[in-house]
Amino acid sequence: MSPELEQKLGSMSSHRSVLGYLLISRGSHPSIIRHSGVVFEGEQGKKYASMVAKIVQSVQSGLDEVRRDDAAPASTTDESDEVKFLRIRTRRHELMISPDERYLLAVLHDPSSAP
The pLDDT of residue 3 is: 84
Mean pLDDT confidence for 69-85: 68
The pLDDT of residue 72 is: 54
Percent of the chain's residues with pLDDT above 70: 90
pLDDT class for 35, splitting at 50, 70, 90? very high
Q: What structural domains and CATH numbers belong to the chain?
A: 40-68+81-115 (3.30.450.30)
The pLDDT of residue 11 is: 87
79 contacts: CB under 8 Å, gap ≥ 6? 67, 71
Burial of 57 (0-12, 13-18, 19+ CB in 10 A): middle
pTM for this predicted structure: 0.84
Average pLDDT along the chain: 88
Mean pLDDT confidence for 26-40: 91
Greater model confidence, 113 or 103: 103
CA angle, residues 13, 2, 59, in degrees to nearest 5:
65
